Amino acid sequence: MVDELATIVWLRHDLRVGDNPALQHAIHAGGPVVPLFVHAPREQLPWQPGAASNWWLHHSLAALDENLQAKGSRLIVRQGETLAELRQVVHQTKANQVVWNRCHEPAIAERDQKIAAALQADGCHVSTFEGNLLVDPGQPRTKQGKPFQVFTPFWKYISKILTEIQPPLPTPRTLAAPARWPASTKLPELKLLPQIDWAAGFRKAWQPGEVGAKQQLAAFARQHVDQYDSGRNLPGQDLTSRLSPHLHFGEISPRQVWHTIIEGQHAGHRGISESAEIYLKELGWREFAHHLLVHFPQTTDAPLREEFAGFAWRSSAKDLHAWQRGQTGYPLVDAGMRQLWHTGWMHNRVRMIVASFLCKHLLLPWQDGARWFWDTLVDADLANNTLGWQWTAGCGADAAPYFRVFNPISQAAKFDPQGAYIRRWVPEIAALADRWLGSPWEASSAELRAAKIEIGKTYPAPIVDHAAGRTRALQAWKQMRGK
């Protein structure tokens, strides 16, 4: 126990002890360190975290507390208005400074600026850090001094900065405790877990927390990163890193990921493989998403490309529901939506396909899809989700052109040729031959009978004909462009 002035480390999307710049700053201050989490979801409106995200948060906070306890510290959890809670904890611990790693979601960033000003006015030191991105997202600029809207030049720009990326900060062995710990809310009181237990599939799929994140990263760097280039498009195989929720909650930093991959490659006495480079570039997309969110904060709800504001979207609660529940009659779309529901995650290739299906085949607004993902993804991330949806809908930065409509039948044949993914998530058609798995209604009646499938009864008929849906989407797009 130490008697010096304490530093409060206000933790948010950096629920880790390793490579945590705010925590390191607090340690270097020399006094007691008070790790604090304040639960104030309403301050994140209109994007307060969804149910899947809350499930993760509960377990991540528990894991962080355990980790801190092993270092002689603990996590103080409070709920209520953040500024009021911070002030109380400052008072109770006799802290003279509050430090945190910055978040870039518009509502959070705005609130944090107000909190910093208020604490400083109270006479408290405030220091903030960039702990969750590789590069300060406000920094990259085109030659004209504007924010980037195209990924390739953005990547070129930040690649130069990344040649000088610093190694991750050390993980402290112990943390100095204050003379008296302030009161802490018990985690169950935050009511983050569902009342009806729908999360059994989540528990099987994930280990939230820093330990789980590190294990996941180590296994990926050892076993799969060199297959990433060819494997990342195959949803039936686990060949991507599945680090997205860990990165979102900051249980691992992108810098730790970057260095682990590069060190793993060097340890194998080889240069960095093309596959590993492709993987590192995905972290670049994450940087790009945050860059866009900082410069175009309105894009969480409004299209970046303004001509899309007048797009003639349909409205159909029935079609939206069928999509959400994985009952569209297109097995690859349904498999993705069911994977999402059961595990809180969906493979990237399938995210693009289901999103395209919603915005193009069903002509429903991308915002409806973004909201559903927001509530059901454990990795729901405002920057990445906004970019993903606007990219697919054709209305965002560097977006896929609207006229490119993913064909859910040929995508199934190409990326799930043996049907491993579809059979897993749409078991009611598992007995069909591989060639019909993407379009079961095309199988002969004898084949359907043999596989015990009755289209429209045991598995839905397609809710929209592929060709007709595509034509309708293209017409709506032409109409928007006045052609």
Give the binding site for ligand FAD (CB under 6 A). Answer: 232, 240-244, 247-248, 282-283, 285-286, 289, 348, 351-352, 355, 373, 377, 379-381, 384-385, 387-389, 392
The residue among 64 and 292 lying less far from ligand FAD, judged by its C-beta, is 292
Those residues with Cβ within 8 angstroms of residue 112's Cβ, 6 or more apart along the chain or in another chain = 100, 102, 103, 128
Least Cβ distance, residue 349 to ligand FAD (angstroms): 8
Active site residue 258: no
Active site residue 366: yes
Are 223 and 200 contacting, i.e. CB atoms less than 8 angstroms apart?
no
The residue among 367 and 384 lying less far from ligand FAD, judged by its C-beta, is 384
**What is the full DSSP assignment across 194-237?**
-SS---HHHHHH---SHHHHHHHHHHIIIIIGGGHHHHTT-TTS
Residue 437 to residue 434: CA distance in whole angstroms = 5
From the candidates 389, 425, 436, 477, give the one annotated as an active-site residue: 389
Return the SS3 of 11.
coil
Are 392 and 352 contacting, i.e. CB atoms less than 8 angstroms apart?
yes
Are 77 and 184 contacting, i.e. CB atoms less than 8 angstroms apart?
yes
The residue among 13 and 232 lying less far from ligand FAD, judged by its C-beta, is 232
The residue among 116 and 231 lying less far from ligand FAD, judged by its C-beta, is 231
Least Cβ distance, residue 441 to ligand FAD (angstroms): 26
* Other residues' Cβ atoms within 10 Å of the Cβ of residue 180: 10
The residue among 22 and 289 lying less far from ligand FAD, judged by its C-beta, is 289
Least Cβ distance, residue 423 to ligand FAD (angstroms): 21
Q: Report residue 175: phi and psi, to 5°.
A: -130, 135
The residue among 75 and 134 lying less far from ligand FAD, judged by its C-beta, is 134
Least Cβ distance, residue 351 to ligand FAD (angstroms): 4
Active site residue 372: no
**What is the full DSSP assignment across 45-63?**
TTS---HHHHHHHHHHHHH
Active site residue 348: yes
Those residues with Cβ within 8 angstroms of residue 12's Cβ, 6 or more apart along the chain or in another chain = 37, 100, 101, 103, 108, 250
The residue among 373 and 477 lying less far from ligand FAD, judged by its C-beta, is 373
* Other residues' Cβ atoms within 10 Å of the Cβ of residue 299: 22
The residue among 285 and 436 lying less far from ligand FAD, judged by its C-beta, is 285
Q: Report residue 96: phi and psi, to 5°.
A: -115, 0
Residue 330 to residue 206: CA distance in whole angstroms = 27
Least Cβ distance, residue 246 to ligand FAD (angstroms): 8
Active site residue 198: no
Active site residue 56: no
From the candidates 277, 313, 428, 447, give the one annotated as an active-site residue: 313
Least Cβ distance, residue 239 to ligand FAD (angstroms): 9
Q: Which residue is nearest to ligand FAD (CB)?
A: 388
Strand order across the beta sheet in which 33-39 lies: 76-79, 33-39, 6-10, 95-101, 125-129
Least Cβ distance, residue 249 to ligand FAD (angstroms): 11
From the candidates 10, 55, 206, 366, give the one annotated as an active-site residue: 366
Least Cβ distance, residue 399 to ligand FAD (angstroms): 11
Strands 33-39 and 6-10: parallel
From the candidates 10, 258, 285, 341, give the one annotated as an active-site residue: 285
From the candidates 348, 428, 441, 447, give the one annotated as an active-site residue: 348
Are 326 and 342 contacting, i.e. CB atoms less than 8 angstroms apart?
no
Report which of 90, 72, 81 is spatially closest to residue 36, judged by C-alpha positions: 90
- What are the residue numbers of the active site? 282, 285, 313, 348, 366, 389
